[in-house]
Amino acid sequence: MDEKTKTAAGIAAGLQGMKYDDKRLAELATEVEILNDAVRKAAAARLTFDDDPAAFAGIMAKEARS
């Protein structure tokens, strides 16, 4: 099990109280990585380090509505 899959397993079990088989955990790790990369790219294009932290939430809410 690679590190990303171990992280997904830890989050699923520790934070969500859920257990999955190794195959599904690997799929979840890949899905989370894709989503995380998309969010980071979208935010990087519109936010700077000095922006108010609430600006990130505003951008995510705006994108969710479109």
Question: Has this prediction a pTM greater than 0.85?
Answer: no
N residues, the chain: 66
What per-residue confidence (pLDDT) applies to 66?
67
Number of domains the chain is built from: 1
Question: What is d(CA 27, CA 9) in angstroms, rounded to the nearest whole number?
Answer: 11
Place of tokens 């935010």: 43
pLDDT in tens, 23-62: 999 999 999 999 888 888 888 888 888 999 898 888 888 8
- What is the band of 15 on the pLDDT scale with cuts at 50, 70, 90? very high
The helix/strand/coil state of 48 is: coil
Domain that holds residue 31: 3-65
The 8-class DSSP code of residue 17 comes to -
